[in-house]
Structure 1
Amino acid sequence: MWSQVMENDSTSAFEGFILVGFSDRPHLELILFVVVLTFYLLTLLGNMTIILLSVVDSRLHTPMYFFLANLSFLDMCFTTGSIPQMLYNLRGADKTISYLGCAIQLYFVLALGGVECVLLAVMAYDRYAAVCKPLHYTVIMHPRLCGQLASVAWLSGFGNSLIMAPQTLMLPRCGHRRVDHFLCEMPALIGMACVDTMTLEALAFALAIFIILAPLILILISYGYIAQAVLRIKSAAGRKKAFNTCSSHLIVVSLFYGTIIYMYLQPANTYSQDQGKFLTLFYTIVTPSVNPLIYTLRNKDVKEAMKKVLGKGEAKVE
Structure 2
Amino acid sequence: MTTAPITYGAALPASARRLPELLEATTIAEELGADLVTVADHPYLPSEQDAWTLIPLLLARTSRVRVATNVTALPFRSPTVIAKGAATLQHTSGGRFVLGLGAGGPYDGLPGWGAQWSTLGQAIGALDEAIPLLRRLWSGRPVTHDGDHYRLRDAVAVAGAPPDPVPPIWVGAFKPRMLAVTGRHADGWLPTNAYLSLDEVPAMQRAVDEAAVAAGRDPSAVRRIFNVMGVIDEGRPPRNDQLLVGSAGHWAEALTDYRERLGFETFVFWPVHGDTRRQVELFFESVVPKL
State TM-score, norm by structure 1. Answer: 0.25
Identify the structure with the greater helix proportion.
1
Asked which structure has the greater CA Rg, the reply is 1
Identify the structure with the greater strand proportion.
2
- Work out which structure has the larger RCO, using CA pairs closer than 8 Å and 6 or more positions apart in sequence: 1
State TM-score, norm by structure 2. Answer: 0.27
